[in-house]
Chains A and B, each alone.
Chain A
């Protein structure tokens, strides 16, 4: 579904990714771990198309209508409509924009792209409340402005709600566990697990093994200095948790 080949990428002139390779198949959950500054967030931004993160060379191929297409030239919204989703490490506040209105605009733009029927506010309200129930979320904040005066946990849960609404084929979760207490993390992980399917794939970026107790990855990668230096199963995450990154970096 996703095939990254020899990717070099920079932000503000500093090259962060230096020859990264990654292949993700439908149905898989990949975890990406690594110390600060290794390029984890940069990878998520390059996949989703943040304008400040520039790919210098290499390919990011994504399966669209059964074909692998290099998406590096596509706008972030085009990628989103094709089924790529980023759960933000720091969700952005949108003063004055009601959460329900934002979610509906987003949902309808994806439906429109795929020739599916769009939802009016009343139908959407039912749809969204159902999603929130499944995710065990309090529905009081859907009338509030997006992420404004949300707690850290609420912001992250709001990201998962957006993911549930858009039902992406590839979800990239950028340190979704940062700033969460254990209870919030369980709710978030529960939401993520509900969205796992044979059709969907996920890339879970995290500092800590803790989240991976709740979201079981199929494959674990360690990213260091812009390259994947080690790939393994869930046991790799446990080893990193136990021993840190030094043994990998030195070897």
Chain B
């Protein structure tokens, strides 16, 4: 029995779309449609012009069909009846129904469970809850287009400060054409009382999605941010090139958790999302901390290296990752820890699970700069193989320019076997429980860093994906 993609349905909503293709006019139209300040248009155009000079990177450990960037539609928004929905009742009924199918309650129920949701439907945010409670604390959590209108000085100051518009091919493309995403600012000394979350969902046919997320934790503040993704079944490959920038000032902490389950193509490798993401956090202040936790279980191709620049003295960077590939998926994921400040510490725990005919690579860099006295890093990269046709690779890159650094690196490779599953079954556990126990054991160090509700979801997701691959 093959588990079909659970969220494979398409919503029919009238779309307000641009024709396919990319040029300066398209960039200008996007900026105009979002009523952006003029500095944004200049920034976008600069990014676009630089992008034209860049080449698509092909150093990752996978191959894919060339992407025709002129065959992509760069803007699609659910049609607005007025200037935008003021409440849930005004949101397109189909949209709300889609979220309900996905189990995302865009309602006051969420308030009771302690999650504020800024739901992104295709490219435009359709509703935001919790706003009031957060406003009282001075927390800004809104679509990035709204932040541009209401807080242009904050956006101008920080956007591109961690991932410059010219950083890499996909980041430059995103900078030119991003349509929406989330903005979050936590004022000094505030501990955000709820876990902020965004659900992304690619919907419109042949529409690339270019999200941009910017999170700033001011001095002494704390925020935990959750990102979860699902997308409907598609035959065409869909490009996704998101950028996430995190900035933590003195004594601030940002925890960023992701569960990614985009359509990965069918078992012969047809279709599926191309996921080229640039995620980077800057520990700008002393004693600041940024934690990335990711559970990557979807997309035909994953190219993603959530990184930390540890500039502040005593700052801490963490990367916890579970990447699962099955069928013919390809994942090339890992992190960069750039130690600049003194007494900076970083931890990398990466768990790769490959099954069927998939390829799963860990690619990580630890760099200790000359001034980073007494920096420490601990890296652990474990791979688990399910079956005999998959592969797992580890590409560590360690650059040390300061002799006081202490680094540890551990790596293992193991296999989940039919014998393990039979052993557990012979003790009364059904196949799903058996696989779950083994996978949980393998991924424990990562799952325990996830918020509880996400951990449960992540375990279920991995079980579902591996059910047919074992035994």
The reply to whether the CB of B422 lies closer than 8 angstroms to some CB of chain A is yes
A50 touches B414 (CB 8 A): no
B427 touches A162 (CB 8 A): yes
Q: Known contacts A50-B422, A105-B433, A109-B433; is A96 also within 8 Å of B427 by CB? A: no
Residues of B contacting A79 with CB < 8 Å?
A: 426
Among B425, B428, B441, contact of A97 (Cβ-Cβ < 8 Å): B441
The reply to whether the CB of B83 lies closer than 8 angstroms to some CB of chain A is no
The reply to whether the CB of B429 lies closer than 8 angstroms to some CB of chain A is yes
Among A49, A50, A80, contact of B427 (Cβ-Cβ < 8 Å): A80
A97 touches B440 (CB 8 A): yes
The reply to whether the CB of B151 lies closer than 8 angstroms to some CB of chain A is no
Question: What is the distance, in angstroms, from B418's C-beta to the closest C-beta of chain A?
Answer: 7
Q: Known contacts A51-B471, A92-B420; is A102 also within 8 Å of B437 by CB? A: yes
Total residues of chain B contacting the partner, CB 8 A:
24
Q: How far is the CA of A77 from the CA of B431 in the complex (A)?
A: 8
Residues of A contacting B431 with CB < 8 Å?
A: 75, 77
The reply to whether the CB of B11 lies closer than 8 angstroms to some CB of chain A is no
B429 touches A109 (CB 8 A): yes
B:422-467 near A, CB below 8 Å? 422-431, 433-434, 437-438, 440-442, 444
Contact with A along B101-139 (1 / 0, CB 8 A): 000000000000000000000000000000000000000
Residues of B contacting A49 with CB < 8 Å?
A: 425-426
Q: Known contacts A50-B422, A51-B418; is A95 also within 8 Å of B442 by CB? A: yes
A:205-251 near B, CB below 8 Å? none
* Smallest Cβ-Cβ distance to A145: which chain B residue: B441
B423 touches A92 (CB 8 A): yes
The reply to whether the CB of B4 lies closer than 8 angstroms to some CB of chain A is no
* Smallest Cβ-Cβ distance to A88: which chain B residue: B423
The reply to whether the CB of A39 lies closer than 8 angstroms to some CB of chain B is no
Residues of A contacting B425 with CB < 8 Å?
A: 49, 75-77, 80
* Smallest Cβ-Cβ distance to B443: which chain A residue: A96
* Smallest Cβ-Cβ distance to A106: which chain B residue: B427
Residues of B contacting A113 with CB < 8 Å?
A: 428
The reply to whether the CB of A202 lies closer than 8 angstroms to some CB of chain B is no
B429 touches A105 (CB 8 A): yes
Question: What is the distance, in angstroms, from B360's C-beta to the closest C-beta of chain A?
Answer: 18
Question: What is the distance, in angstroms, from B357's C-beta to the closest C-beta of chain A?
Answer: 22
A110 touches B428 (CB 8 A): yes
Residues of B contacting A71 with CB < 8 Å?
A: none
Residues of B contacting A50 with CB < 8 Å?
A: 422
A:42-68 near B, CB below 8 Å? 48-52
Question: What is the distance, in angstroms, from B458's C-beta to the closest C-beta of chain A?
Answer: 15
A109 touches B423 (CB 8 A): no
A77 touches B426 (CB 8 A): yes
The reply to whether the CB of A8 lies closer than 8 angstroms to some CB of chain B is no
The reply to whether the CB of B419 lies closer than 8 angstroms to some CB of chain A is yes
* Smallest Cβ-Cβ distance to A103: which chain B residue: B427
* Smallest Cβ-Cβ distance to B351: which chain A residue: A96
Residues of A contacting B437 with CB < 8 Å?
A: 94, 97, 101-102, 105
Total residues of chain A contacting the partner, CB 8 A:
32
Q: Known contacts A88-B423, A91-B423, A96-B441; is A77 also within 8 Å of B429 by CB? A: yes
Q: How far is the CA of A48 from the CA of B422 in the complex (A)?
A: 10
* Smallest Cβ-Cβ distance to B417: which chain A residue: A92
Q: How far is the CA of A77 from the CA of B423 in the complex (A)?
A: 9
B414 touches A95 (CB 8 A): yes
The reply to whether the CB of A166 lies closer than 8 angstroms to some CB of chain B is yes
* Smallest Cβ-Cβ distance to A101: which chain B residue: B437
Question: What is the distance, in angstroms, from A65's C-beta to the closest C-beta of chain B?
Answer: 17
Q: How far is the CA of A51 from the CA of B425 in the complex (A)?
A: 11
Residues of A contacting B426 with CB < 8 Å?
A: 48-49, 76-77, 79-80, 85-86, 88
Q: How far is the CA of A81 from the CA of B430 in the complex (A)?
A: 10
Among B419, B428, B440, contact of A77 (Cβ-Cβ < 8 Å): B428
Residues of B contacting A106 with CB < 8 Å?
A: 424, 427-429
A81 touches B428 (CB 8 A): yes
* Smallest Cβ-Cβ distance to A93: which chain B residue: B420
Contact with B along A12-33 (1 / 0, CB 8 A): 0000000000000000000000
Residues of A contacting B420 with CB < 8 Å?
A: 92-94
Question: What is the distance, in angstroms, from A150's C-beta to the closest C-beta of chain B?
Answer: 14
* Smallest Cβ-Cβ distance to A162: which chain B residue: B427
Residues of B contacting A81 with CB < 8 Å?
A: 428
A75 touches B428 (CB 8 A): no
Question: What is the distance, in angstroms, from A6's C-beta to the closest C-beta of chain B?
Answer: 25
Among A88, A96, A98, A166, contact of B442 (Cβ-Cβ < 8 Å): A96
Residues of A contacting B422 with CB < 8 Å?
A: 50-51, 76, 92
Q: How far is the CA of A109 from the CA of B430 in the complex (A)?
A: 9
B438 touches A166 (CB 8 A): no
Q: How far is the CA of A189 from the CA of B471 in the complex (A)?
A: 33
Q: Known contacts A109-B433, A145-B441; is A92 also within 8 Å of B428 by CB? A: no
Residues of A contacting B423 with CB < 8 Å?
A: 88, 91-92, 94
Q: How far is the CA of A77 from the CA of B428 in the complex (A)?
A: 4
B428 touches A94 (CB 8 A): no
Residues of A contacting B433 with CB < 8 Å?
A: 105, 109
Residues of A contacting B419 with CB < 8 Å?
A: 92
Q: Known contacts A51-B418, A88-B423; is A109 also within 8 Å of B428 by CB? A: yes
* Smallest Cβ-Cβ distance to A92: which chain B residue: B423
Residues of A contacting B424 with CB < 8 Å?
A: 77, 94, 102, 106
* Smallest Cβ-Cβ distance to A81: which chain B residue: B428
Question: What is the distance, in angstroms, from A141's C-beta to the closest C-beta of chain B?
Answer: 16
A94 touches B438 (CB 8 A): yes
A76-B422, A106-B424, A109-B428 known; 8 new pairs, CB 8 Å cut-off, are A75-B425, A77-B426, A86-B426, A92-B422, A94-B438, A97-B438, A106-B427, A162-B427
Question: Could you list some 27 contacts between A and B, CB below 8 A?
Answer: A48-B426, A51-B418, A75-B430, A77-B426, A77-B427, A77-B430, A80-B427, A80-B428, A85-B426, A88-B423, A92-B419, A92-B422, A93-B420, A95-B414, A95-B442, A96-B438, A96-B441, A97-B437, A101-B437, A102-B427, A105-B437, A106-B427, A109-B428, A109-B430, A113-B428, A162-B427, A166-B428
Across the A-B interface, give the 8 residue pairs with the lowest CB-CB distance, nearest first. A96-B441, A97-B441, A76-B425, A106-B427, A92-B423, A80-B428, A109-B428, A77-B425
